[in-house]
Every structure is written in structure tokens, then in C-alpha cells.
A and B are shown apart, each in its own frame.
Chain A
């Protein structure tokens, strides 16, 4: 029995931490405090998109059409399955089901917030994300610092107390953590040199959420060992994505991948542009140019360690956040990579906190929906009629200019963070070369 639990413990927290009692106690303490913080936020706040996500799932259950959500079909299937289970177990979900099926967005939002059991419903809705969050926090332990239990515990600490994770999952209540989970599995497979599986799983992550596609080129470059690998891995990447596309077409008669190109995510990548001549069609997409620099920089590294790959993933997402328009939940994609670098370079942690503080100001971009309405479950009428932050700012200064000043600071900090990550990469490179030399 003891052996079984020892094995189970090693599986959950890694062997190094399990065998180091001090690290194990510290990790457990962090886990409890982190869980407490998460539970405090769980029942009381959400952003409108959470309701839309579950409304789509409710519609899928109601109509039996599994291909209901055209853009995020797999995410919708996960939510549908989960909603079906909780609906069968908890009467609170049954009671609110008619609200979920309401077509009018304003009426459904009011009905949801004014329900006497809104806290139960929100807790159950967000519980799915808590489960994925917990799985991710133990997966992330395996990404780096093998044989260094103390550093692994630090990584855990940076994840569990990360303000972006707490905000996006438990206040904003967005589902990006599901995609992050699949991406982490792909990275772990890459670390274990399961190159084909890594690429295929990343393809699945792309189908879940657009963003993992950004790290696909660096992952391919990391995994290739021979020239032949370039072709095979590229084909694996394409075939992984194609497989998802074919399956959804066969089963649901819907395309998953092609609509991604028409989504706002892709548009945001191309939006920051530089017109070469006024009035001409000639322009440069700034993010694409920067992205190519990052990819080429990675390509020219001779000894590519897994930590260097993670650093480049961080640089890519920092560049995206720094240059392109983004929604608050997109910041979650940066976190798994940054927290590992925090252990080596703590100054980045402070900048990350500043990023979070600035994000709270940037919320003004989206108005009441993501500011005061997030608190609506507490008392929807109060927060609907409460004077919003935008009219208050507008009273004194142009709100768009006000936010864009902070947005510019955010960009400056993000670009500076890329430089710091680049410096860290240089040190890693030197260490890697030294290790190979020995």
C-alpha cells in the first residue's frame, strides 16, 4: 500500500520533489494557499464569454448537433460533455438550463446573474478550468530543472500564484487553460523526443485554440535531427492539423482549421502594419517581420536545448502581446514559458507583475463588459447602473488616448522582457556548449 502511494506521489509531484521532504512540504503549502485563492474567486466573478461558451454547449445538448460551434468545435465538445455531466448531477444546472438556451444575449445575461443559485452555477462552470489548472501546475514541473527539486518548487510557486492565471481563469473565467494543457503535453512529448507525437498533439492544441500555431515552427526546428526530419515533421504537423480537419468534416460536416484563418486571432497578427508608400498596397506586417527574426535566430542556434526552446516560445508570445492587439485571456499563453525563466532571472517576474497591472488598465478597451459587469453576479442591478470607468475617464481626458498610453508602456515592457529572455538564452547557449564540450 505504501509503495502504491509512493509511486502515486512520484507520478503527481515528480520523483525529485517526492523524495525531498522539505520541497514536498513547501509544494504542498503553496498548493493549499493557491487553491484557497482560487476558491475565493470561484463563485463570484465571470466575464460574459463564459456564459456564451456554456450557452453553445447547452445548445449542442438541446439540439444534439455535436458540430454546433463552427470555430471552436473541440472546445465546445469538451464543454458540452462537461455540462451534460453536471446537468445530470446538480439540480442547480437544470434550473438554469432554460437561461442558457435563451437567444437574447442581454436577457440571458440578466437571467443568469439574477438567479438565486448563480454562485453554485459559476462554481460548477469554473470547476472544469480548476481541474485543468491543477493538472497543468503538475505538468509544468516536468518541463525543466530535472534533478533540481527546489527549482521545480519555485516553478510551481510562480504558476500557482501567477496573477494572470488567477485572473483569466477565476475572475475572467476563460477556457484557454484547456489549450494550454494540450500544448504542455506536446512540449513534454518533445522533451522526451517523441517528435511525431509532439507535433500531432500540438496540431490538436491548434484546433482547440489558435495560439499554439505560433510555436509550431520553433518546435519543428527543435525536433529535427536530420534534413529528412524537416519534411517528415512538417508533414506530421500538417497531417495532424489535416486529420482534425478531415475528422470534423466527416463527423460534423464542418471545417475547423480554415475558419481559424478568418478569425480575429489571425487578423490581430496582421493588423499592426507599416505602409511603405502612402496610398499604395505595399505594407509590412510588423509582427510577421519580428516573428521571422525570432524563428531565424532560433534556426541559427547550433545546440538547441529544451530550455532554449522554452525561451523562444516565451519570446514569440511576448512579441505577440507587445506588438499585436490582444484580449486579456491571450496572456495566459505566455505564462508557462515565463515562469520557468523567472527561476533563472527574477527581474522578469517583477516586469510580469507590471504587465498584469497594466492589463487591468487595458481592460478599459472593452468597456463595461470586462470591468464592472465582471462583478455582476454579486448584484447585477448595482453593477449595471454603477457609473463605469470609461465615462469617468472621458470626463477628464480621452479614454482611448488614456488606455493607449498604458498600452504603449505595456509594449515597451514586453519588448524589454524579450531582450532579457534573449540574454538568458545566451547564457543557456554558453552552458549548453560547455556541457557538450565536457
Chain B
């Protein structure tokens, strides 16, 4: 009974934590915490493109332009401060300028765009470019040029990216694979220690220890071979 009560407490606590995180999370598309995260966050929902920005409660100016070969039908503002923040929307483009500060955690807007093949962005922070702070469709999905374009199916293609192709896993697996002699030696050493622990515990009670030990080492070698192919697949 006591165990059930503990489990239920853990579940309630976990649900509450998730709710708290969701309540402070700025958007559905790209996770960011208004007033704590720093940068632009851009994502797509249906035919609407969302652009929001946040900073860690410092006076910061966000301004830029978006242009397209399609047609912008309508737009909605989020946490917009009249007077401080300005926006001009035309059929093929948007120009905006906004500031954030200690009390203003985040701003943004979204717009409906039809019949387009590309969207071109020119986004600045404090009148300069910081491409690593522009997250297009996902965290650290950064553009390569100051003025950058995304094609119509960009977000769909991004959605097809597997977890191991995203940071930090992609970089981690890349380092493991490009430094493979170390990786295999390291794994082999871990394996030897684990086998030795097994020999001292589980295998100590077994009859034919030598067979078990041989099987363990063969398994370790097989794991190493598998790891090689798995890493090769992950970093391809």
C-alpha cells in the first residue's frame, strides 16, 4: 500500500512538472522558455508560419524582413507592445522591429502564406547577425547565410530527420566514430570490467566458468563489431 502511495506521488509530481514546463514553454513547434531562452524560433503549423523571439530579460532589439514569392493572407501578433514594436505587412513581405526587456519576455507573430516556393528571411538581433541564435524548425537548425531562404517543403524534410541526426547526438556519434580506435578500446575496457564483475558475482555460482567466460568475451567482441556498424550507420 505504501509502495503504491509512493508511486502515485511520483506520477503526480511528474505530471505537475510536465504541466509547469508546458505552461512556460513558448510554443508547440520549437521549445523555448520566454524570458530565459535567447534567439529566434521559427516553425510551421499547417499553412501558418510562426516567428517568435525571446531573450534572457535583457534589453534587446529584434528586427528583420521576410519576403516570399507567394501571397501573405493574414497575420496575428503575439505579446505585441504597441508603440514599442512595429510591423508592416504587405502581400509579399513583412517588415518588423521589436524590443524585449526585463519585463517583456517574448514577442512574435504568425502569418498565413499561400502559393509560395520559398520564404526569405533577414533577421537581426541588436542590428547584427547571429545565425546560431536563429532556430528554423528545431533547436540549432541554423541558417548558413545572413539572408537565408527556406523552400516550401523545408519543414517536412526537417521532420523526417531522425533523432540521431540531430544535435547533440549527431556530434557525439561523429566524435565516437571518427575516433574509433579510442572508442573500441574504451568499450573493450568497460566490457572487461563488466565481465570481471560478472565472474565475481553471477558466474561465481556457475559450474563451467571457463565456458561462460569464453562466451562473455565472444559476446563482447560481437558487441564491438555491432557498435562499429551501428556508429557507421548513425554518422553516414
Contact = CB atoms under 8 A, between A and B. Distances in A.
Contact of B56 (A25, A118, A385, A394): A394
B40 interface: no
A166 to B, nearest CB: 15
Interface in A377-412: 377-379, 381-383, 385-387, 391-392, 394-395
A128 B179 CA distance: 21
B83 interface: no
B196 A32 contact: yes
B36 A394 contact: yes
Contact of B175 (A28, A118, A382): A118
B62 to A, nearest CB: 17
Contacts of A377: 175
Interface residues of B, number: 37
A382 B133 CA distance: 11
Nearest to A39: B190
Interface stretch (B2-10, B113-121, B165-173): B165-173
B200 A29 contact: yes
Interface string A127-164: 00000000000000000000000000000000000000
A269 B41 CA distance: 47
A394 B178 contact: no
B53 interface: no
Nearest to B189: A39
B32 interface: yes
B132 interface: yes
B197 A36 contact: yes
B13 interface: no
A234 B148 CA distance: 72
A95 to B, nearest CB: 11
B33 interface: yes
B167 A382 contact: yes
B193 A381 contact: no
Interface residues of A, number: 30
B182 A391 contact: no
Given A119-B175, A120-B179, A395-B33, A33 B168 contact: no
A235 to B, nearest CB: 48
B157 interface: no
Contacts of A116: 174-175, 178-179
Interface string A102-124: 00000000000000111110010
Nearest to B183: A119
B56 A379 contact: no
A378 B24 contact: no
Interface in B196-233: 196-197, 200-201
Contact of B132 (A32, A33, A378, A381): A381
Contacts of B167: 379, 381-382
A336 interface: no
Contact of B194 (A36, A379, A386, A394): A36
Interface string B48-88: 00000000110000000000000000000000000000000
Contacts of A43: 182, 186
B99 interface: no
A106 B14 CA distance: 38
Contacts of A35: 193
A29 B197 contact: yes
A429 B201 CA distance: 40
Contacts of B34: 395
Nearest to B178: A116
B220 to A, nearest CB: 14
Q: Is the interface of B mostly helix, strand, loop or mixed?
A: helix
A376 to B, nearest CB: 10
Residue among B140, B172, B179, B183 with max Cβ neighbours from chain A (10 Å): B179
Contacts of B32: 387
A378 B171 CA distance: 7
Given A29-B201, A39-B190, A395 B35 contact: yes
Given A36-B193, A379-B167, A119 B179 contact: yes
A89 interface: no
Contact of A32 (B36, B170, B178, B200): B200
B190 A123 contact: no
A40 interface: yes
Contacts of B196: 32
B35 to A, nearest CB: 4
B27 interface: no
B123 to A, nearest CB: 16
Contacts of B105: 395
B37 A387 contact: yes
B140 A382 contact: yes
A35 B193 CA distance: 8
B55 to A, nearest CB: 9
A20 to B, nearest CB: 16
A431 B138 CA distance: 66
Contact of B197 (A33, A123, A378, A382): A33
B33 A385 contact: no
Residue among B167, B175, B182, B186 with max Cβ neighbours from chain A (10 Å): B175
Contacts of B197: 29, 32-33, 36
A381 B170 CA distance: 12
Contact of A383 (B168, B178, B193, B201): B168
B182 A117 contact: yes
A394 B36 CA distance: 8
Interface string B20-53: 0000100000001111111100000000000000
29 contacts: A29-B197, A32-B197, A35-B193, A36-B193, A39-B193, A43-B182, A92-B182, A116-B174, A117-B178, A119-B175, A119-B176, A119-B179, A119-B182, A120-B182, A123-B186, A378-B171, A378-B172, A379-B168, A379-B170, A381-B171, A385-B133, A386-B139, A387-B32, A387-B33, A391-B36, A394-B56, A394-B57, A395-B34, A395-B57
Given A116-B178, A392-B36, 4 more contacts: A119-B175, A377-B175, A387-B56, A391-B56
Shortest 8 CB-CB contacts between residues of A and residues of B: A379-B168, A379-B171, A391-B56, A382-B168, A391-B36, A120-B182, A116-B178, A382-B167
